[in-house]
Structure 1
Amino acid sequence: MNEPAREKLSSKIDVAVKAAIAEAIEKHRRLGQSISIWQDGKVVTLTADQIPPLDRENKPTERN
Structure 2
Amino acid sequence: MNKKNSGKLSEQIDSGVKAAIASAIERHRRLGESISILKDGKIVTLTADQIPPLKNSH
Give the TM-score band, short-chain normalised.
over 0.9
Q: Which runs of 5+ in 1 are unaligned?
A: 58-64
Runs of 4+ in structure 1 displaced over 3 angstroms? none
TM-score in terms of structure 2 length = 0.95
Q: Which runs of 5+ in 2 are unaligned?
A: none
1:19-58 residue pairs with structure 2 within 5 A? 19-56=19-56
What's the RMSD between the two structures over aligned residues?
A: 1.1
Tell me: higher relative CO, structure 1 or 2? Use CA pairs within 8 A at least 6 residues apart: 1
* Offset at residue 32 of structure 1 (A): 0.1
TM-score in terms of structure 1 length = 0.86
- Percent identical across equivalent pairs? 68
